[in-house]
Amino acid sequence: MRALLLGLDGVTFHVVDPLLKRGRMPALAGLIARGVRARLRSTCPPISAPAWVTFLTGNGPGRHGVYNFQNPDPRRYTGFAETLVNSSFFRGTTLLDHAARVSGTRVLAYRIPMTFPPWEIPNGVVVSGPPVPDRCKPYVRPASAAAEFGPLSTLSHDELAAVKKALDVNAIDACNRYEVDLLEHTVRRYLAGPMQVMVAFTGIPDALHHGFWAYHDPSSPLHEPNAAAALRTIIERWYVEIDAMIGRILASVDDDTAVIVLSDHGGGPAPHRQVNFNVVLRSKGLLEVAGGGRAAVATGARRVVERARMQMPGRMWLKRHLPERMQRQLRGLRNATGAIAWERTRAFTVPIHFPITGIWVNLAERHPKGVVQPGAEYEQVRDEIIAAVRDVRDPATGTPVVLSARRREEIYAGGQVETAPDVIIETCAGYHGGVEINDVVTDMPAAVLRKVNGSHTNEGIFIAAGGPFRRAVEIGMPNLADVLPTALHVVGSPLPDDLDGRVVADALDAEWLATHPVQTVTSDDAGEGRVRLSDDDEAEMRKFLQGLGYVE
């Protein structure tokens, strides 16, 4: 038996279901009719870096150690390390490596995020997915397979950013068409060979959400009802195009091939309001602002730099011409760290990615100017933080803005939990954590919303059919960590014995499952062979992430 997994970054049932009702996504409709459908729980935060690593490893961020494209760093008051996360960062091995080693499974990993630099998988092929230095160049292992691939796209990072800024729908369509056709061609070529597990990915839906959600969604504060139809329909149109691609691929698939279509998270409107938890902490005596007008300077600098960084020329001028020390100072002003009196502060806020915000305790022996002692005092401060933030309301409307505030160990498990912020806040729809230090709730800067008007939700999609999957059922919500273990079990590979993920038994035929019990073997927590990238490579990858609003 074989398994084919198609990863559609950011795809959401909120867009899929209306299209299904109108008969415009017949391929997914057919899979649902003869298979299983479920909402799929993403990671915390629901962003591609931790999500796709969770998919690959079957473990959550608390074990694999990836929380964002730039990892949290408790030694820095900015909250994040300066370097980008890549394939060399996450702990442990991937399930693709595991299956190749323990059962000789032949695998294809085509453009899965967080797989650059590529590495060798026994009897497998890895084509690196985003972020990559050159989005047109194939980065492939083994090197002997590289000749099979030509350019992976028609537009560079800079070119793609330029056509999106110009709202050049024709250029975007042409680029998307090339990438979708190449994905289809690659998958069908490998379906004709000996591969047993094939995972292929497209990031087109998520990229369109980020840049064009306001045109798609009439409820967006930036919606333009009189905008060109090509702009208002571009998201739905590419959902339909991707469905047609899936249909053509399925024409090459027999009933014994298990097919899974998934997304790492959902999509929706970007938050238009900011909840500035530092203001809440300040009101409770947990944070102190430095004197000498530094708060006003920080606010002014933040607005100036925000305007500059929203424009590619301005952002790149800052990156190329300012000394690193001055760039750090500007980042400190922009995110308010330059306005905080650290020697009198016990806790501070670091927004991570909507809808998740972290709060760090200014802990002695961890932070440069930490004042809170580990143990009882640390736990007392966490209690105070949770009590302070959980009932915050928007002063303008009186509506709650916080869904939950929890200790990190209530969310994560594993050896990397201590790299996560001490308290994790999930905000309500429309609100994300901010860094202002005067008003509790403020409007999201217009420049930010114009550039990135779509964001993520906690629920992706899971659709599976063929092989032993049940027919025409909707099941409860599995986790993203469950998907690849389920696929590997279907093809007969034993699983590591220490996964967070599980086989989604509800999705499988009970009689088949009774005769095919889950087999486990001792975990091989190696992850060897993944190498670090160069500074030049990181600079180019940063352009891609900046274009989606993921990093500065």
| Mean pLDDT confidence for 297-324 | 51
What single-letter amino acid sits at 483? V
Q: pLDDT digit string (tens) for 445-473?
A: 888 888 899 999 999 999 999 999 999 99
User: What was the pLDDT predicted at 301?
Assistant: 53
User: What was the pLDDT predicted at 529?
Assistant: 46
User: What was the pLDDT predicted at 537?
Assistant: 75
214 part of a folded domain: yes
CATH number at residue 243: 3.40.720.10
436 part of a folded domain: yes
User: What was the pLDDT predicted at 71?
Assistant: 82
Are residues 347 and 222 part of one domain?
no
Are residues 422 and 388 part of one domain?
yes
User: What was the pLDDT predicted at 284?
Assistant: 97
Range scoring the smallest mean pLDDT among 333-342, 353-362, 422-431, 436-445:
333-342
114 part of a folded domain: yes
User: What was the pLDDT predicted at 5?
Assistant: 98
Q: pLDDT digit string (tens) for 233-280?
A: 999 999 999 999 999 999 999 989 999 999 999 999 999 999 999 999
Are residues 441 and 331 part of one domain?
yes
Range scoring the smallest mean pLDDT among 141-150, 201-210, 238-247, 502-511:
141-150
Are residues 277 and 265 part of one domain?
no
Note down the domain range covering 62.
2-269+455-547
Cα separation, 408 vs 112, in Å, equals 28
User: What was the pLDDT predicted at 310?
Assistant: 47
Residue 551 has pLDDT above 90, yes or no: no
Which of the listed residues 397, 423, 446 is the one where a domain comes to its end?
A: 446
Are residues 60 and 140 part of one domain?
yes
User: What was the pLDDT predicted at 333?
Assistant: 52
User: What was the pLDDT predicted at 450?
Assistant: 84
Residue with tokens 């959550």: 60
DSSP, collapsed to helix, strand or coil, labels residue 57 as: helix
Are residues 265 and 150 part of one domain?
yes
Other beta carbons within 10 angstroms of residue 296's beta carbon come to 12
Q: pLDDT digit string (tens) for 357-377?
A: 999 999 999 999 999 999 999
| Mean pLDDT confidence for 156-176 | 96
Are residues 518 and 496 part of one domain?
yes
438 part of a folded domain: yes
Residue 546 has pLDDT above 90, yes or no: no
Of residues 63, 71, 1, 22, the one with CA closest to residue 492: 1
User: What was the pLDDT predicted at 292?
Assistant: 53
Q: Which two tokens stand for residue 430?
A: 């429309």
pLDDT band at residue 528 using 50, 70 and 90 as cut-offs = very low
Are residues 65 and 13 part of one domain?
yes
Which of the listed residues 446, 466, 501 is the one where a domain comes to its end?
A: 446
User: What was the pLDDT predicted at 221?
Assistant: 85
pTM of the model: 0.91
Report the percentage of the chain scoring pLDDT > 90: 78
Over its C-alpha atoms, the chain yields an Rg (Å, rounded) of 23
Residue 170 has pLDDT above 90, yes or no: yes
DSSP, collapsed to helix, strand or coil, labels residue 296 as: helix
Q: pLDDT digit string (tens) for 63-115?
A: 999 999 998 888 889 888 888 999 998 988 999 999 999 999 999 999 999 99
Are residues 254 and 122 part of one domain?
yes
123 part of a folded domain: yes
User: What was the pLDDT predicted at 536?
Assistant: 66
Tell me how far CA of residue 346 lies from CA of 237, 260, 342, 343, 393, in angstroms: 50, 47, 8, 8, 23
Surface-to-core class of residue 221, CB atoms within 10 Å of its CB (0-12 exposed, 13-18 middle, 19+ buried): middle
Of residues 505, 473, 475, 500, the one with CA closest to residue 489: 505
Cα separation, 230 vs 380, in Å, equals 55
Are residues 506 and 399 part of one domain?
no
Are residues 433 and 327 part of one domain?
yes
Q: Which two tokens stand for residue 304?
A: 């100036």
What single-letter amino acid sits at 241? E
Other beta carbons within 10 angstroms of residue 337's beta carbon come to 21
User: What was the pLDDT predicted at 445?
Assistant: 86
Count up the domains in the chain and report the number: 2
318 part of a folded domain: yes
| Mean pLDDT confidence for 502-518 | 97
Mean of pLDDT over the chain: 90
Q: Which helix (H) or strand (E) holds 455?
A: strand 454-457
Which of the listed residues 419, 446, 473 is the one where a domain comes to its end?
A: 446
552 part of a folded domain: no
pLDDT band at residue 545 using 50, 70 and 90 as cut-offs = confident
Cα separation, 513 vs 341, in Å, equals 59
Are residues 206 and 319 part of one domain?
no
Per DSSP, helices labelled H in 292-409 are 294-309, 312-321, 324-334, 376-389
User: What was the pLDDT predicted at 322?
Assistant: 53
User: What was the pLDDT predicted at 330?
Assistant: 53
User: What was the pLDDT predicted at 316?
Assistant: 47
